[in-house]
Amino acid sequence: MTDTSAIAPGLKKDVLLKIRDLKIEGFTGETWVPIIKGVDLTLHRGEVMGLIGESGAGKSTIGAAAMGYARDGTRISDGSIEFDGIELTTSTEGEKRALRGARIAYVAQSAAASFNPSHKLIDQYTEAPLQYRIQKRLEAQEDAIELYERLRLPNPGEIGFRYPHQVSGGQLQRAMTAMAMSCRPDLIIFDEPTTALDVTTQIEVLAAIRDIVDQFNTAAIYITHDLAVVAQMADTIKVLLKGEEVEEASTEVMLKSPKEDYTKSLWAVRSFERPQKPRPENATPLISVQNVDASYTGGDKVLDDVSFDIYEGMTVAVVGESGSGKSTTARCITGLLPPSSGQILFKGEPLPPKYTDRSKDQLRQSQMIYQMADTALNPKVRISEIIGRPAQFYSGLKGTALKSRVDELLDLIELEPSKYYDRFPPELSGGQKQRIGIARALAAEPTFIICDEVTSALDQLVAEGILRLLDRLQKELNLAYMFITHDLATVRAIADEVVVMQHGKVVEQGPKTEMFKPPHHPYTDLLLSSVPEMDPNWLTTLLEERGVDNVGEAADV
């Protein structure tokens, strides 16, 4: 796949999909606005093209358009889409339907929502082959089982006879890939197939998809926002920005020497890294989590004997996959979820377990910045009041003193006070909202801030800006951060110490430099090695090292 000879000149002539000057519009409730502003795309047989871009770049819309499909509220307004000589923009619904499933197939982002809960997996698999009378039911079932086996699903003979909710997310995603393969289509559209998965699960799905596409020499459009993932999967990469193409080149060329400034900036994002700080000597930790167990009402233990310390002015990254208990730990520290045993110390003094029992000053000391800036700011409250309220609440500032404090805070987060003072959150961009969230935390004059996945909902350039801002604020105000993240690139960039969590337990902890050097705990190792790298041969090498049967769930420790 990553071998560029796959698109050797001889093959190049055999064009499968040709999109010219495609324009798509979306309905906003009042008018139609352009989403795709004239994109060209040429895909050859057996070629895998990666479509990459930030959210809102229109990748997914182009993917659907390649099937001649416009989602509700969008319409193809101009251009041509030619699939194997058939013009899709002018063909009838019936003609397009005959292609879908049979010659062009689709793999959706959320497998759990895209499988019909009322039917067994294998019945959903056989639907298309039966529809197109390619195979009889039993043949189709045998075929399904064979594909399940090739996709390395556990119990391939049996898994198809389960219902979607009885199968895990990573397995469902592979079952959906099998379903897309059922009629051996010429083209498959993969729409962010691994975005919803954890890194360790992502690998197995990536490997399975890559193998199967290779084996049947299927052409594919692989849509993602993750550069490292697309580097593993695609022969060619096309970069999109706001509905327009930035550039297209073969994967190797694109990685080595991107031409456009925008593409370069995407590559450059991971350059920020700040030096690691040592722990201060003979100091009491600012926050000390001691032997904390916790569970939600009536549920199993979600935290099991969690202990770690955070010192003044330092950043501790808490790393783990979804369900590892990293966010629950934050809830224990803030007092939203009182631990069932163990305690939290602040400067050596135990904090009351429930936030309602804590004093104003204790509450002020630790603040939180949230992942989704959209839900973290009240859309109906002005910026001045969002930032001003903590200052008023804790320090009793009023009138001009309050206003100058808000101005000062806006200056601190690099937003022009006069421009933003009276605005409402929905008028701001994602990055700006996140900055307002930071300002609200700073307004309380805290010593400790919990950053819960603060950059994961942001585009990479913007995320970089936020990380730099947080770093600057830490130096200026001597803040301690607890950085909850699943993204190891972020950890590398900003952390001093790392805590690795799995299944509610701390698996390993220590200074960053040590954590990124072997020997590790096996889980840390798995986690570290599962994070895709920009090297196009990374997946191949990794699979060789681990062996194909030893990835993902199989490698679970």
Sheet holding 480-485, edge to edge: 366-369, 448-452, 480-485, 315-319, 497-502, 505-511
How far apart, in whole angstroms, are the C-alpha atoms of residue 176 and residue 106?
A: 9
Tell me the C-alpha distance between 224 and 425, whole Å.
Answer: 28
- Torsion angle in degrees (nearest 10) through CA of 428, 432, 436, 441: 150
Applying CB under 8 A, does 376 fall inside the site for another protein?
yes
Q: 344 has which bridge partners? A: 289
Structure tokens at 51: 């479509």
Beta bridge partners of 510: 498
Nearer to another protein, 246 or 397 (CB): 397
Q: Of residues 24, 41, 108, 234, which one binds another protein by CB under 8 A? A: 108
Beta pairing class for 48-52 and 104-107 = unpaired
Interface with another protein by CB under 8 A: which range of 69-77, 213-221, 311-319, 499-507?
A: 69-77
Looking at the Cβ atoms of 377 and 515, the one nearer to another protein is: 377
Q: How many residues of this chain interact with another protein, rule: CB under 8 A?
A: 55
CB of 379 vs another protein, minimal distance in Å:
7
Place of tokens 């370069």: 264
Specify the 3-state DSSP secondary structure of 267.
helix
Task: Give the span between the Cα atoms of 366 and 444, in whole angstroms.
Answer: 9
Among 12, 27, 71, 142, binds another protein (CB under 8 A): 71
Task: Please answer whether residues 342 and 290 qualify as being in contact, where contact means their C-beta atoms are separated by less than 8 angstroms.
Answer: yes
Half-sphere exposure of 11 (CA within 13 A, CB side): 16
Pair of tokens at residue 228: 């490292």
**C-alpha distance from residue 172 to each of 17, 136, 163, 557 (Å):** 28, 24, 10, 21
Of 275-334, binders to another protein (CB under 8 A) are 334
Give whichever of 179 and 207 is closer to another protein, judged by the CB atom.
Answer: 179
- Using CB under 8 A, which of the segments 45-53, 105-113, 149-157, 498-506 binds another protein? 105-113
| Least Å from the CB of residue 151 to another protein | 18
Helix, strand, coil fractions of the chain, as percent rounded to 5: 40, 25, 35
Q: Does 101 bind another protein (CB under 8 A)?
A: yes
- The answer to whether residue 380 forms part of the interface with another protein (CB under 8 A) is yes
Is 73 a residue that touches another protein (CB under 8 A)? no
Q: 364 or 546, CB closer to another protein? A: 364
Only segment of 35-43, 54-62, 94-102, 520-528 that touches another protein (CB under 8 A):
94-102
Cis amide bond preceding 532, omega within 30: no
Binding mask 128-167 for another protein (x = CB under 8 A): x--xx-----------------------------xx-xx-
Binding mask 339-368 for another protein (x = CB under 8 A): ----------------x--x-x--x---xx
Please report whether residue 398 would count as binding another protein according to CB under 8 A: no
Instruction: Tell me if 263 sits within 8 A of 247, measured CB to CB.
Output: yes
CB 55, min distance to another protein, A: 18
**Binding another protein by CB under 8 A: which of 377, 415, 462, 494?**
377
Indicate which single residue of 36, 88, 102, 507 sits in contact with another protein (rule: CB under 8 A). Answer: 102
Distance of alpha carbon 444 from alpha carbon 451, whole angstroms = 15
| Site membership for another protein, residue 383 (CB under 8 A) | no
Chain residues binding another protein by CB under 8 A are 30, 67, 69, 71-72, 97-102, 105-106, 108, 110, 113-119, 127-128, 131-132, 162-163, 165-166, 179, 334-336, 355, 358, 360, 363, 367-368, 370, 372, 375-381, 389-390, 393-394, 440, 444
